[in-house]
Amino acid sequence: MQKPISITAIVSISPLGTSLEDAWKMYQNNQHCITKKQFGDAIAFVAEITKEAKETIEVLRQSDTKYKSLDDTVLYAIYASRKAITLAEWNGSDNFGINIGSSRGATRLFEIYYDDFLKNNKAETLTSPTTTLGNISSWVAHDLQTQGPEISHSITCSTALHAMLNGIAWINSGMSNKFLVGGSEAPLTGFTIAQMQALKVYAREDNPYPCRALDLDKKQNTMVLGEGASMACLESGEITNALAIIKGFGYATEILEHNISISSEAKCFQKSMTMALGETNPDDIDVIVMHAPGTIKGDISEYRAIEKVFCNKMPALTTNKWKIGHSFGASGMLNIEMAILMLQHQEFISVPFLEHQKTPEKIQNVMINAVGFGGNAVSILLSKNNI
């Protein structure tokens, strides 16, 4: 880190609701947001945004004729971005940068348009502009009327935290003082669910907690898909009343052995966490919000990486995927939201089905992890703002 960077606002639309207050209330109980949904002839576990959030998105969709043709990923991003910059007291004339990513992009629209192409052997007029990955950041920039740089990218499940890395880099370079970063994902479609099931990673067992994220004794994979978007406002310096201070960051990539490979001790996480620590004593980390997708290999390899890095004193470990599922490219920023809630309320959010889970005495420093297919790991170190 060349200079302190503050998170001055974060807003999500997710199965937890549409505000930090909503999310905190949802985290106060041990109920998950996972339900069963019909996809053609199949039924699968999913975590949808709330009914109130869906109604809000429909109001947004109908508010502008141009928005009626946009995918949910774009509308989720627009909604969260509007609220985030309002809370941060930004406006378009600030010319802040935008970097919003997505693993799958315009999932629903792409599948609809492609299905129509197979039937009619021709594409609809708006197919390309509404399914191009870059249309998420572009539409957000249009909606917010900012003239700053706008970037879109996809680095699978670590996409949102890579957006944060980009924002940090732009601010540290002096090319921008403010950056809006995040991820958006609406992957709850039949084809996407079928892809995860084909990988044999999807939850099948109907029990009180379908996604057993961070349960290291599970005998089968239990990943569940969720949807949502989460946006954070980054500003240069230590800002009074900032939600958190970015104290460190790290990144690393595995040497590929398979399309979705990650080593048994997640060397990419070992490197990214070590880099994020910098000169910080590992003993000073109070909590790690793990990526922990609910798969056998994914969960245990990340845990072993943490053991390697924090061998003297293991921090308290937690995850939110048992509650809201795995939202692919948006998941890393939803992990950031969880970390900020713990820093703000000084209360640990545990995993209800884990016995003998360590609880921290204080919550001053929280590390957040995310990793995507191919082992693209990112670790962000947040500290409580004491200004």
**pLDDT tens-digit series, residues 129-186:** 999 989 999 999 999 999 899 999 999 999 999 999 999 999 999 999 999 999 999 9
What is the tens place of the pLDDT at every residue in 32-45? 999 999 998 889 99
| pLDDT at residue 312 tops 80 | no
Cα–Cα distance, 136 to 100 (Å, whole number)? 7
Domains belonging to the chain, first-starting first, are 5-236 (3.40.47.10), 248-383 (3.40.47.10)
Asked if 185 contacts 329 with a C-beta cutoff of 8 angstroms, the reply is yes
pLDDT interval class at 261 (50, 70, 90): low
The pLDDT value recorded for residue 91 is 85
Token couple for 215: 């349960």
The pLDDT value recorded for residue 41 is 86
pTM of the model: 0.97
Provide the H-helix boundaries in the chain: 20-27, 51-62, 72-88, 107-120, 127-131, 135-144, 159-173, 190-198, 267-277, 296-309, 321-324, 331-345
| pLDDT at residue 360 tops 60 | yes
| pLDDT at residue 290 tops 90 | yes
The overall average pLDDT reported for the chain is 95
